Amino acid sequence: MTRRLAINPIACTGHGLCADLLPELIRLDEWGYPMMPEHPVPDHLAALARRACGTAGPPMARSPLAAPMATNG
Amino acid sequence: MTMAPDMRATVPRHARPADRPLGLVKRLTIGWRDTDRVTALGTHLQRYGALPPHPPGTLIEAVTSAGLTGRGGAGFPTGVKMRAVAERRGPAIVVANGMESEPASDKDEALLSRAPHLVLDGAAAAAREVGATTVAVCLPRAKQWLLTLVREAVAERVRAGYDLVAIEVYDLPHGYVSSSESALVNWLNGGEAKPLAVPPRPFEKGVGRRPTMISNVETFAHIALIARFGPGWFRQAGLPDAPGSMLITTSGAVAAPGVYEVDAGITIGAALSLSGGAAEHIASVLVGGYFGSWHNTAEVTTMPLASSALKRIGAGPGAGVIVALPAHACGLRETARVLGWLAGEGAQQCGPCMFGLPAIAEDFAQLATGRPQGQLLDRLHRRLGMVSGRGACAHPDGAVRLARSALAAFAADARAHAAGLPCLPARQGRSPANAMPIPASAGGWR
């Protein structure tokens, strides 16, 4: 199964942990905000990216990849 | 749908025979030039007749077959929107958007200040049809006179016992992004007038978590007339794929700038002509407003002001805005001023917009002043490719469209500026024009 990684751009604070963890999928723009791949990614990688974002402590609590924005691709 | 035949007689004489070229239309604008002031409820009812009753569902059908699209800029089919709201469970709410944050547009203000009852009729009729008991009219706080005028119109209707729904008028802070649908929902729910991440979309869960129909005030005015005269009459103006009339705002280097009601799909050249024609040589036009695009005048003169045609050249009619740039003005300089303003008008919520737009605006300022630093054009193109589609709302996308179109329409000037050389208007020794209005900052989001 694959799914598309979507982002909640308001919640994203640009910590960049998703790109640290999945550099082959997610690049950062010159201001440090993640650019999502346009193609669907395997489920386990999508889950990994969301966990990286959602487990980084209080400042990341509203982070994008933890939010229910990832949709079935 | 049922219609009272005696009421049909008042307006349909403005139908367009097949051999009449697209041009000025008088539907919403009847009586505007004669009186130049607000139309009272009594006069309004004499002019258009009373709203006929509609069995449930028939108004949505009429609006759908009329082919009415939203007149606020997005051009979404209004019948589809109404049906989506009506089909949701529970009571709905209707929001009439009169924020008009587009600096080059004046048509919503013109409509509300001359014919508020057309807007209120349409909103009230739409409310009954989609199952709403309340209409919220959203207006900019900066225009207190307009708020007073619309509130008086609502009071007139209350005194006459005219409406079966409640109409509330709200004054909102007035940023460029504050007029987007989700920003209205956000503010009406007690938050800031900033866009929200979607989904949920307003028709699913909007004001008070209710299904919410949000449309531009002009769209509601057309609904008021479709409710009276039917979809066949509506389609007697405009083109088959851009039916009805639309309000446009022309400005810049035309002899008679202003708000005009025209057939939808009128050519851009005809719109410039009926605005008095060129006051001086018009080299370029901005089509669609500050989220729109620049084009060489010759390229678009015969283009219909309709999204079906304009999308082929990457343009759109927006809220019916055309700005004619005089040949002596530098389009890059004008665009740089607008981009600088747009960069500050973001909601400061999404990183790519918050940091990307100021960076792009700074690059454009370097280009406009002919003081390039580093590989300016390469950097600018890279940044323009980086921010589109990455905001919660379309603010970054609109700014990028404007910037890209300027680089294309003023390509020769851009090459000259990027090499530190003067552009053609500068070489001809003419002074810059400041053709584009830049509003004062609204201040505050509450």
Q: What DSSP string describes B297-318?
A: HHHHTTSBSSHHHHGGGT---T
A35 touches chain B (CB under 8 A): yes
CB contact under 8 A, A14 and B351: yes
pLDDT at A24 > cutoff 70: yes
Q: Which CA distances in Å does A25 have to A5, A36, A45, B204, B389?
A: 10, 8, 9, 32, 18
| Cβ atoms B29, B261 nearer than 8 A | yes
Reported as a single tens digit per residue, the pLDDT across B163-172 is 999 999 999 9
Tokens of A71: 């949709």
Quick check: B392 and A8 CB within 8 A? yes
> Are residues B341 and B221 both part of a single domain?
no
**Same domain? B175 vs B28:** yes
Q: Do B174 and B304 belong together in one domain?
A: no
Instruction: Answer yes or no: is B314 within a domain.
Output: yes
Domain stops at, among B274, B296, B326 = B326
Measured between CB atoms, which of A9, A11, A13 is closest to B390?
A9
Q: Which residues of B touch A5 (CB under 8 A)?
A: none
pTM as predicted: 0.91
Q: pLDDT at position A54, please? A: 55
- CATH number of A50's domain: 3.30.70.20
- The verdict on a CB contact (< 8 Å) between B392 and A30 is no
Same domain, yes or no: B185 and B115: yes
Inform me whether the C-beta atom of residue B351 falls under 8 Å from chain A C-beta atoms. yes
| Residue B443 is assigned to a structural domain of this protein | no
Kindly report the CATH number assigned to the domain that includes residue B195.
3.40.50.11540
* Dihedral over Cα of B64, B65, B70, B73: its sign: positive
Beta-sheet pairing, A41-42 with A2-4: antiparallel
A31 touching B, CB under 8 A?
Answer: yes
**Is A32 a residue whose pLDDT tops 70?**
yes
A9 vs B contacts (CB less than 8 Å): 197, 349-353, 390-392
- In this complex, is the C-beta atom of B197 within 8 Å of any C-beta atom belonging to chain A? yes
CA distance B260 to B254: 13
B309 and B343 co-located in one domain: no
Same domain, B280 and B133: no
Closest approach of chain B CAs to the CA of A54, in angstroms? Answer: 18
Shortest distance between the Cα of B392 and any Cα of chain A, in A, equals 6
Count of structural domains within chain A: 1
Same domain for B255 and B364: no
> Is A47's Cβ below 8 Å from some Cβ in B?
no
The residue among B250, B251, B253 whose CA lies nearest residue B425 is: B253
CA dihedral B321, B177, B78, B313 (to 10 degrees): 50
Which site among A4, A7, A15, A30 would you substitute to test the B interface, given the most B Cβ atoms closer than 10 Å to its Cβ? A30
CA A42 to chain B, closest CA, distance in angstroms equals 22
> Could you tell me if A6 lies within 8 Å of chain B, comparing CB atoms?
no
CATH number assigned to the domain comprising residue B256? 3.10.20.600
Considering B239, B268, B292, which residue would you say is the last residue of a domain? Answer: B239
Task: Tell me if B269 sits within 8 A of B302, measured CB to CB.
Answer: yes
How many structural domains is chain B composed of? 3
Specify whether B256 is located in the same domain as B349: no
* Full domain range(s) for residue A45: 2-72
CA gap B399, B357 in Å, rounded: 8
Nearest CA in chain B to A9: B350
Higher-confidence position of B269 and A62: B269
Closest CA in chain A for residue B198? A8
Residue that terminates a domain, selected from B217, B239, B261: B239
Q: Which amino acid is at B99?
A: M
User: Distance between CA atoms of B42 and B283, rounded to whole angstroms?
Assistant: 46
Quote the domain boundaries for residue B282. 242-326
Q: Which CA distances in Å does A40 have to A1, A65, B56, B71, B385?
A: 9, 14, 43, 35, 21
Token pair of B76, please? 């979404």
In a domain, B219, yes or no: yes
Chain A nearest-CA distance from B353, in A, is 10
The reply to whether B295 falls in a domain is yes
**A and B: number of Cβ contacts within 8 A:** 42
**What are B234-281's pLDDT values in tens digits?**
999 999 999 999 999 999 999 999 999 999 999 999 999 999 999 989
Mutation choice for B interface testing from A4, A10, A12, A36 by most B CBs within 10 A: A10
**B401/B295 same-domain check:** no
Q: Residues B164, B259: one domain? A: no
**Whether residue B249 is found in the same domain as residue B112:** no
Q: What is the model's pLDDT at position B404?
A: 97
Contact B390 A33 (CB under 8 A): yes
Per-residue CA distances from B69 to A40, B77, B80 (Å): 33, 4, 9
- Does residue B251 lie in a domain region? yes
**Nearest partner of A14 among A73, A52, A64, A67, judged by Cα:** A64
Higher-pLDDT residue of A68 and B53 is B53
B441 falls within a domain: no
| pLDDT, average across residues A37-54 | 78
B153 touches B115 (CB < 8 A): no
* pLDDT lower than 50: segments of chain B: 1-10, 12-14
Are B349 and B262 part of one and the same domain? no
Contact B252, B435 (CB under 8 A): yes
